[in-house]
Homo-oligomer: A and B are copies of this chain.
Amino acid sequence: MAEEVKLIGLSMSMFVIRVKISLNLKGVKYENLEETFGSKSELLLKSNPIYKKVPVLIHNGKTICESMIIVQYVDDVWSDAGPSIVPSDPFDAAMARFWSYYIDDKWFPAYGEVIKGQTREAKIEAAKEAIATLQPLEEVFQQQSKGKDFFGGDTIGYLDIALGCYLGWIKAAEKLTGLEFFDKNETPLLAAWAECFYSNDAVKCAVPDVDEFVEFFH
């Protein structure tokens, strides 16, 4: 059976970027159904009646919602295509899930305050607090990466995607605040990771140009 894969998304959404990276890693071709910012299509409302949010993956007519649930689904369905996204070791997988949860629970709202900040000073203050929520991830990287480039080891994994989807937004915030979110002295491993992640082909074609994020900020 020919696979029919559609993604309802918004190119600027970090959560949509997660799904695109996972599909790219697996080499899955998909039709991109771009929503219009500020409105919701009939298809979106029908496909995600509970949350009415992107991303929604439609795979052979079945709809899957919530970004990290979709990432896991993509890994499960295309398990033989490309490297595994979810770590195969149960403890590593649990750690990846825990820190992914932490990122959405602690880092995301802290980062949201940077966007909301009305003045440059307010953005800088909010950015400092957001940066503080990243600190524990330096040690997590050391434990998980085992000396390799990614949280997932040699290849991009679940936690890389959970955090890395924010890199475009982070670069925009760095431009606007003059702060380094992944400081080379404070969090050298994360700083090196961010460069590695951002230059990966599966990521590059999933993330809009940084100027688009800056524009959005304004």
Contact = CB atoms under 8 A, between A and B. Distances in A.
Interface of A: 50, 59, 62, 64-66, 69-70, 72-73, 76-77, 90-91, 93-94, 97-98, 101-102, 136
B76 A90 contact: yes
A178 B94 CA distance: 40
B65 A98 contact: yes
Interchain residue pairs A-B with the least CB separation, the first 4: A76-B90, A73-B94, A69-B97, A64-B94
A50 B102 contact: yes
Nearest to A70: B94
A92 to B, nearest CB: 10
Copies per complex? 2
B94 A72 contact: yes
Given A76-B90, A77-B90, A101 B64 contact: no
Contacts of A64: 91, 94, 98
B101 A73 contact: no
A69 B50 contact: no
Nearest to A78: B90
Contacts of A66: 97-98, 101
A136 B50 contact: yes
Contacts of A76: 90, 93-94
Contacts of A136: 50
A87 to B, nearest CB: 10
